[in-house]
Amino acid sequence: MAILYTVLDDHELASRHVAGLMVSTINRHPSCTLGLATGSTPMSVYENLCRRYQAGELSFQGITTFNLDEYVALPEGHPQSYLAYMRENFFDHVDLDESKTHLPAAHQINENVSATVISDRYENEIENLGGIDWQLLGIGVNGHIGFNEPGATIDSPTRLVDLAASTIEANSRFFETVGQVPKQAITMGIGTILKARKIVLLATGAAKAEAVASAINGPVTSDNPASFLQTHSDVLFVLDREAASAIA
Ligand code: PGA
């Protein structure tokens, strides 16, 4: 299936477009389940959503959320954890019911509770709540989606993964030193992501151009995990001009 894409002038317009798609989905399906992403790219999507919530345009009360991933070996709510990110950028500013928000409970891994138990529990929770209706994705410079780095297989489930060196390097801007960046995470798998009914990937900036172009036009391969999205029937890439610049 060819991946559909739309190109907006810049990061702000692309983010606004994605937020608009989310708002209309939520207003049409007020009890739907959203898959959410972290990183710098979606920050302005969340800003837009918070603004539109404050303007009374929508309510998140009936919405269930599942985040793509969480770092391993950080205490719950650590400032660099994705739970803290979600609270800071989104959860604390809207009327989401906190009991309906989910991130992989990576902090619960210990000598008695394995990463596999935590991962399987997350996968089952998603399934038991009816699956993900609308999944937001970013993309890494190496084509990762969630923390499915190159090498991840199309049917991979939620699981413990090692982060690629390029990801650790890219994410070090959120930490004081590269050494502080966690080396592992629990991530939804490619298989988990592909079960979402609709997928919207937001990519902006020239650094993402190659990964975006090969995800859209290149072969379906583990070398670029985002290329697996070609096998899904309802995917939209929302790009700014720079991120779209390498598409043939
Ligand atoms: P970024 O990360 O938005 O911080 O570039 C995207 C991703 O790695 O999925």
Cβ(225) to ligand 1 under 6 A?
no
Look at residues 135, 129, 172, 159 and name the one whose alpha carbon lies nearest to residue 69: 159
Active site residue 149: yes
Alpha carbon of 132 to ligand 1 centroid (Å): 20
Closest residue (by CA) to atom 8 of ligand 1?
A: 140
Rounded-to-integer distance, Cα 8 and Cα 17, Å: 8
235-240 and 159-162: which strand pairing?
unpaired
Q: What is the pLDDT of residue 1?
A: 76
pLDDT mean values, one per 10 residues, the chain (248 residues): 95 98 98 97 98 98 98 94 97 98 97 97 98 98 97 98 93 92 97 98 98 98 98 98 96
Pocket test for ligand 1, best of 40, 41, 229, 238 (most atoms within 8 A of CB): 41
Calpha distance 94→122 (Å, rounded):
24
Helices 43-54 and 11-28: angle between axes, nearest 10 degrees: 50
Residues 103, 82 contacting (CB under 8 angstroms): yes
Is 234 within 8 Å of 2 (Cβ atoms)? no
Two tokens, residue 42: 């979606």
Taking only the tens place, the pLDDT of each residue in 224-237 is: 999 999 999 999 99
Active site residue 169: no
